[in-house]
A and B are shown apart, each in its own frame.
Chain A
Amino acid sequence: MSASTMPAQTTADIAHAYRQERAKRAKRSAVLKHIFLILTSLVMIYPLIWMFAASLKPDNQIFGDLGLWPSEFQWENYSEGWNALPVSFTTFFWNSTVVTVLSVLGNVISCSFAAYAFARLEFSGKTIWFALMMMTLMIPYHVVLIPQYILFLNLGWVDSYLPLIVPKFLAGDAFFIFLMIQFFRQLPRELDEAAMIDGCSPFKIYWAIIMPLSLPAMATAAIFSFIWTWEDFLGPLVYLNDMKDYTVPLALRSFISTDGVSQYGPMFAMSILSILPILLFFIIFQRLIIRGIAMSGLK
């Protein structure tokens, strides 16, 4: 069936037949793909729909009645939720934004430095450092929580954002280092060698060659960094004391009580709002993953 089995045709014919065949196959598989994707999407999005429905119900109807459709739409959950706590969500969103944006910057810059060293440069002791870096990924964080708290307390950083942000600028998350290493190692070695012969410094190679070619990896790291920082509550929980400094996830956890009146509706309303920045960031940055391909055409 395939084009190469028809010897009598010219090269142009072969190419044409091949392209037609490919288009047909692509169309068929596109339909199948869409069906598969839509079905899977439904499973994926159901919890969000449920949460959205819950965010519109009065508290006394969320749990007894499992139906999705609210009997009355209580949009006030949004306005009430925004101001339900002694500090308004305007402050919480601002705090989260500051911490998250700085963390993303810190992670992408400092981790790509370390990853470049590990992936492209030769230096003694590399294997040991790499192993130690991996070890920081493996230790369960609950047992380092207290020693770390005491450390930051002695530095005078507790009750400020410093413990949440400074480690990000010191390549504190080995996940990103390892991720970038894997992508950097995929770039052809000849690039560095050619640049080196042209007299480029290692920094120039990092900045002008490795980084631009690794846009998909950087975008991926930025997305994860954004989401995980935005959602992190253990760090803010331990290091922030004043409610005015709370981030969104910490504030959300103040809605639920085991010995008083919880506010589930407003909590779900604020949860929905807290997802929006993540989705926005995601949609914007995942484009960079696509654009990366145009760049890598350079090589």
Chain B
Amino acid sequence: MSRLTRRTFLGASGSVLALAAMGRPAFAQTAEIRHFWWGNPERDRRTFEVIDIFNGKHPDINVTGETLGFGDYFTKLTTQIAGGNMPDVIQQGYGVLFEYIANGAIVPLDDYVGKTLDISKMDQSAIDAGTVDGKFYALSIGANSHMAMYNSRLFEEAGIVPGEDFDPYGYTYDELAEFAAAVKEATGVAGTDDNTADYQNFSDFVVQKGAMLFNEDGSYGPNQEIVEEYWATWEKIRNAGGTPPGPESAGLAGVSELSQMGVVTGKTAMTYLWSNQLVGVQSLMQDTLGAAMYPNTPDMVPGSIVQPSQFVCLTRDSANPEAATTYMSAFVNDLDMTKVLGLERGIPSQSDVRAALQPDLTDVEARSVEFFDKIQGKTAVLPPPPPSGSNEVEQTFERLAVNVLLGERPIPDVASDFLNQTRAILARA
């Protein structure tokens, strides 16, 4: 329907438009496929180019692209779900993917695998990540992992040499406390962000402690002890002088704007994000960023996971799933197309594609590829998909942790409060 109404502007009344839309033959010659993603100018340009390439190669399919910024993407998607008007192919992140699968907005791809959809060269880990209850739902278009990004100049000024004074791929919270304080001492800039209110770091810590964020039965994994210990660990780093003052960090709890991150504003020398954000953060800074894993406990149990940064998924509302999956397949396999896409969405999960991209990497892209090579074998296994409500648990954590940062309530109180509220959220979800 969209093609017919798109360019029509006030020329016809609504009912005429509706009639025109209904009048379209069901067996149209060209299959109309809508692809919707969240992006940025660079990604938009590349993706539209890829759509042109695909349309050129497939005269029977006409893909149209729709794009918005991340902040608006899910608002619009929610509206479209309610209207039964979702685009055929949508982009999804790992965090909310499972809610969309659970409520049926996204449909399984198994019927198309081996026919219109080729996943023979996909990494098994990527396929597993998109599989729920034995059904394959989501096609990974880029791998991702937790990454700490540090300001190399400030580290250098403080005489901290990565690889000597600390191992970026295996350092402890105690070491972090030490070198963060050293950076502060030497440069006046706090050595690290304070992650007290950072749920991603917390989720790593839980796994490092041998627990899981969510147990197999969907109940919450961390106990009182783990939550308390996590906050106590960061309190120690804070007290050693390695972080900005607690209230300063509290003001940033829950803020995800890259421009407000400590390394970008120059308030800290190390910020904790995702590997696919390295390029974006680097573009906002003059100093060069180095990449490290998140800190660990002395036992060095792996806590971070490698997970798809983004998927493409087929929606319930697609009228032509064969054509849609043909496009999805090309999106991850067609070397002409993947060459244009590059690493913009993360490291591709298809081996041929990776090999073909290798020669053309920019400096900062090469840094993230190197990071991925180095963390091989140091990551944890993929946990079972988080249950509904996990999103809300994360927000609750960020909210309550501010109590700790402000020093207003004792850690054990806040921890038990958090676990109680989490139980209530999961019970309601």
Contact = CB atoms under 8 A, between A and B. Distances in A.
B284 A156 contact: no
A253 B280 contact: no
A165 interface: yes
A63 B70 contact: no
Contact of A264 (B42, B66, B259): B259
A160 interface: yes
Contact of A258 (B44, B70, B283): B70
Contact of B2 (A60, A155, A159, A264): A159
Nearest to B21: A156
B233 interface: no
Interface in A222-261: 233, 237-238, 241-243, 245, 250, 253-261
A138 B286 CA distance: 48
A237 B39 contact: no
A63 B264 contact: yes
Interface stretch (A11-19, A30-38, A144-152): A144-152
A91 to B, nearest CB: 12
Nearest to B3: A159
A59 interface: yes
B169 to A, nearest CB: 23
A261 B43 CA distance: 8
- Mostly, the B contact residues are helix
A175 to B, nearest CB: 23
Contacts of A259: 70, 274, 276-277, 280, 309-310, 345
A271 interface: no
Interface in A19-43: none
B364 to A, nearest CB: 10
Interface residues of B, number: 62
A84 B14 contact: no
A34 to B, nearest CB: 37
B6 A256 contact: no
B67 A257 contact: no
Given A63-B264, A237-B68, A258-B256, A161 B10 contact: yes
B76 A150 contact: no
Contacts of B256: 258
B83 to A, nearest CB: 5
28 contacts: A63-B259, A63-B284, A64-B264, A64-B284, A85-B41, A155-B18, A156-B1, A156-B5, A157-B14, A158-B2, A158-B83, A159-B5, A160-B9, A162-B14, A166-B14, A233-B72, A237-B75, A242-B64, A242-B66, A243-B66, A253-B68, A256-B69, A257-B258, A259-B274, A260-B42, A261-B42, A262-B258, A263-B42
